[in-house]
Amino acid sequence: MLARRRSLPGFGLTLGLTLAYLAAIVLLPLAALAWKTAGLGWTEFVAAATAPRALAAYRVSFGCAAVAGAVNLVMGTLLAWVLARYRFPGRRLVDALIDLPFALPTAVAGIVLTSLYADTGPLGRLFAAAGIRIAYTPLGITLALTFVSLPFLVRSVQPVLEALEPELEEAAATLGAGRLTTMLRVILPMLAPAILAGFALAFARAVGEYGSVVFISGNLPLKTEIAPFLIVARLEEYDYAGATAIAVVLLLASFAALLAINLLQLWLVRRRSAEGTA
Amino acid sequence: MTTVRPRALRDPPWMRRTLVAAALLFAALFLLLPLAAVFGYALRDGYAVYVQSLSDPDARAAIRLTLLVAAIAVPANTLFGLAAAWLITRFAFRGKGLLVTLIDLPFAVSPVVSGLVFVLLFGAQGLLGPWLAAHDVGIIFAVPGIVLATTFVTFPYVARELIPLMQDQGSEEEQAAITLGASAARMFWHVTLPKVRWALLYGVILCNARAMGEFGAVSVVSGHIRGLTATMPLQVEMLYNEFSRYSQTGAFAVASLLALLALATLAIKRLLEWRMRREHAALRPLGETA
């Protein structure tokens, strides 16, 4: 790209508008969070962030988000593979439906999953007959989180699969590798970074998810209470310190997940360029 | 992609059939069924009850509020998105990387935390709370708080669609327009806007879908006052939690409107992806996936 772009108009105007709007809508509110956290003091912060009910809520949120991510690791990769590689009736419909969890408001997803999977619901009844309760258990939370985070996996793996050069697969086949060997030893390693990035995005989303979960989780303290719900509960008790401490832990967790993605991609770019020069 | 693959690169038929069947079954049970069930539950007591649920004064108020909030948040974020994309893709300046990161920040914040930060800023015990109370300005548990929280969560949508596209397109045509004596406004209207219109619309559609459907952030700042500070998703929540069959059917009736919005969003998104791919086919053979 050319370095000099100052001949175009609007630098001052767009700079001023962008910074003012960013400051007012995003930075000022986040500063309020930092201000409140700083005002807490270390001991009060730690006490609020590590209260037994908070620890239980992290366990539920992080645990269910990890399991949902793992389910999507398999199902999302499978869907991406099928959509990228095969032509079959209904392919375009399935491809469009993948984005449904992004487009459907979370509260709508929450109530419909709850009604379907409650013990009296059409699907929940079948599971209940087999002794499996879904709604109001961690299983239900995991189900809702799997629903909302599915598109992240599919949409990060699918473009990579579509752009994959057939030469490598040809080479593997020429060298006598069976189709399954080629998949596991050649294609899967090339997909791994996209799969992991999708997992991290899905996890970051699922940890903070609220709307699709609150209806199906039952919100039983220490058992099926997710961290975002505990923030709301603390706010309703006017316990701003408690709410803030848990919010900071959640924020740090999603930043960590997103940082992991960036490091992963950096590592990938390095490895690619190293392979290119080798 | 659609070229015929040599036999050695084709998956065995049993594998292809198993995987396609698994994908279809999963999509049908996990995606299509919940979507269909929203309409099924909404209409389970007949069309008359459905219409009655939607003409309830509180439901009407919720629909009006949702439209009002989106009518403020979406244009504001669109204007910002255009300004930010122009700034980032047309000028070299220090701190650009940081600016791009900050624009994406709201995506990394849990919806509930997005609401909480406004309570900490404008709530009764918040940073500006006492001042607001003294001047009798209500933000939290009122419409301004809902607008602010919605604007926060939908902040990056338009900018993040425009920035990569405008980066790719470069600014030669704008440079030419200015050199030939066009005013800034004329250049923007006749050169820049036509080049980015589909991506702009794409960002606006996604921004609008999220703005109308946002639940967590709005739930924290709204106070859930029926007829006054309940948006459609909050109305859905309150009706559903009443646990009577009639009110739950009403919850699904309002939810069905949001599901229709989601379907319309997906359809327009598909259409725009197709248009953008066609428009950039000459430029970028592989196209861009969002």
**Minimum Cα–Cα distance from A249: chain B residue:** B113
Chain B neighbors of A18, CB-CB under 8 A: 80, 83-84, 87, 99
Q: How far apart are CA A3 and CA B283, in angstroms?
A: 22
Is there a domain that residue A28 lies in? Answer: no
Chain B neighbors of A219, CB-CB under 8 A: none
Chain A neighbors of B219, CB-CB under 8 A: 210-211, 232
Chain A neighbors of B19, CB-CB under 8 A: 78, 81-82, 86
Q: How far apart are CA A239 and CA A158, in angstroms?
A: 44
Is there a domain that residue A133 lies in? Answer: yes
Is there a domain that residue A44 lies in? Answer: yes
- Average confidence (pLDDT) over B208-237: 96
Amino acid of residue B28: A
* Interface check A252 vs B, CB under 8 A: no
Tell whether the model's pLDDT for residue B282 goes beyond 60. Answer: no
Contacts of A191 (CB under 8 A, 6+ apart): A77, A157, A160, A161
Tens digits of pLDDT across chain A (278 residues): 444 445 799 999 999 999 999 999 999 999 999 999 999 989 999 999 999 999 999 999 999 999 999 999 999 999 999 999 999 999 999 999 999 999 999 999 999 999 999 999 999 999 999 999 999 999 999 999 999 999 999 999 999 999 888 788 888 888 888 877 888 888 888 898 899 889 999 999 999 999 999 999 989 999 999 999 999 999 999 999 999 999 999 999 988 888 888 788 778 778 767 765 54
Q: How far apart are CA B91 and CA A97, in angstroms?
A: 39
Is there a domain that residue A153 lies in? Answer: yes
Q: What is the CA radius of gyration of chain B?
A: 23
On the 0-12 / 13-18 / 19+ scale of CB atoms within 10 A, B230 is buried
Q: Is the Cβ–Cβ distance between A148 and A209 less than 8 Å?
A: yes
- Averaged pLDDT score across all residues of chain B: 92
For chain A, the domain total comes to: 1
Q: How far apart are CA B95 and CA B103, in angstroms?
A: 12
Per-residue pLDDT at A166: 79
Chain B neighbors of A240, CB-CB under 8 A: 119-120, 123, 125
**Minimum Cα–Cα distance from B23: chain A residue:** A79
**Tens digits of residue pLDDT in B141-180:** 999 999 999 999 999 999 999 999 999 999 999 999 999 9
The DSSP line for B134-183 is HTT---TTSHHHHHHHHHHHTTTHHHHHHHHHHHHH-SHHHHHHHHTT--
CB pairs under 8 A between A and B: 281
**Test the B interface: residue of A33, A111, A120, A239 with most B CBs within 10 Å:** A111
**Minimum Cα–Cα distance from B34: chain A residue:** A112
Question: Are residues A107 and B20, on separate chains, in Cβ contact within 8 Å?
Answer: no
The model's pTM is 0.91
Tokens at A164, concatenated: 């994959």
Is there a domain that residue A211 lies in? Answer: yes
Is there a domain that residue A151 lies in? Answer: yes
Question: Are residues B83 and A251, on separate chains, in Cβ contact within 8 Å?
Answer: no
Closest listed residue to residue A18, CA positions, set B88, B20, B212, B252? B88
Closest listed residue to residue B114, CA positions, set A212, A29, A169? A29
Q: How far apart are CA A247 and CA A63, in angstroms?
A: 17
Per-residue pLDDT at B8: 57
Domain that holds residue A166: 40-273
Amino acid of residue A232: V
Question: Are residues B37 and A112, on separate chains, in Cβ contact within 8 Å?
Answer: yes
CATH number at residue A177: 1.10.3720.10
Is there a domain that residue A29 lies in? Answer: no
